[in-house]
Amino acid sequence: MSTPALELAHLDKRFGGLPATRDVSLTVMPGERRLIIGPNGAGKTTLFNLITGDLSADGGSARLFGQELLRMATQDRVHLGLARTYQILTLFPRERLIHNVVLALLGLDRRRWNPWSILASSRDLYAAARAALDRVGLGESADRIVSETSYGERRRLELAMALAQKPRLLLLDEPLAGLSQGERQTVRSLLDGIPRDVTIVMIEHDMDTALAFAERITVLHYGEVIVEGTRAEVVADPRTREVYLGD
């Protein structure tokens, strides 16, 4: 049996007296498409923040391809192959789209410490950034300023930045949020096109897309895993209907 891409065990996080995640354990296998669902405040984004190191856990463990993450700084986790997109867009709005992707590429490149060379002359970085933008259909907009692009384009830019890093585990936090039907279709196709060597864990409220995309689903409620299983198992479970899907 291969090493899980992501293995969470008894992960706890409290904000003062309020538990955000309680004893969360889950295992995601390499290449898997995992969906995390739950009502607002269930602890989904907190869980992502614990995995990435944006928040520090109070207890438990998180392993990425067998390596313990919790005592590691965020940037070191990224160097192990972790990437994410944010629910609230976190981009460099005054910069060009291509510069955003170049920053993503630089994050894993030794040249990021070079204070002497001219960044604009790093043709390979810019070519790779253009390729990443082409992949999400933004090649033509590479030289536009982020703040002048549409919300949908920015969502795709977030995806381009994450994919440019060739991650092994990609965390997608509501990648379809705020998009029009047409844009949703575009992003759905992009997600479908991500190769299987990238394991994906996604939080999404658009159930049509999410259920079509995911192979296994984890339902969180008040920070606890209440249901986990295949699509059919989770949808059929009365607890899922009670806390999230409704009748």
Partner 1 sequence: MTRAAALGLCALVLLALPWIIGNEFYVNMASQVLIYALFALSINMMLGYGGMVSLGHAAYLGIAGYACILATLAGYNQLAAALFAIAVSTATAAFFGVLSLRAPGLGFVMITLALGQIVWGIAYRANDLTGGDNGIRHPARPLPFGIDIRDAPSFYYFTLAVFAGALFCIWRFARSPFGASVMGTRDQPRRMRMLGHHVWLVRWVTFVMAGFWASVASVLYVYYNLFLSPHAISLQQSAEILLMAILGGASTLTGPIVGAAIITLVKNVVSTYVERWNTLLGVIFVVVIVFMPYGLVPGCRQLWQRLATRVSGRGTKGAGATAPGRAQ
Helix, strand, coil distribution of the chain in percent, nearest 5:
40, 25, 35
| Residue 216 CB, nearest approach to partner 1 (Å) | 25
- CA distance readout (Å), 168 to 6, 76, 77, 164: 10, 14, 11, 12
Name the segment binding partner 1 (CB under 8 A); options: 32-40, 82-90, 195-203, 208-216.
Answer: 82-90
Judged by CB under 8 A, which of 91, 98, 200, 219 binds partner 1?
A: 91
Sign of CA dihedral 20, 22, 25, 26: negative
Q: Cβ distance 51 to 227 under 8 Å? A: no
- Give the pairing type, strands 67-68 and 33-37: unpaired
Burial status of residue 234 (CB atoms within 10 A of its CB: 0-12, 13-18, 19 or more): buried
| Residue 69 CB, nearest approach to partner 1 (Å) | 13
| Residue 77 CB, nearest approach to partner 1 (Å) | 9
Q: Closest CB to partner 1 among 173 and 228?
A: 173
How many CA atoms within 13 Å lie on the side-chain side of 215?
Answer: 12
| Residue 222 CB, nearest approach to partner 1 (Å) | 26
**Residue at 94: amino acid letter:** R
- Residues in 122-141 at the binding interface with partner 1, rule: CB under 8 A: 122
| Residue 117 CB, nearest approach to partner 1 (Å) | 6
229 binds partner 1 (CB under 8 A): no
87 binds partner 1 (CB under 8 A): no
Q: Which residues bind partner 1 (CB under 8 A)?
A: 52-54, 73-75, 78-79, 83-84, 86, 90-92, 94-95, 99, 102-104, 106-109, 111-120, 122, 145, 148, 161, 165
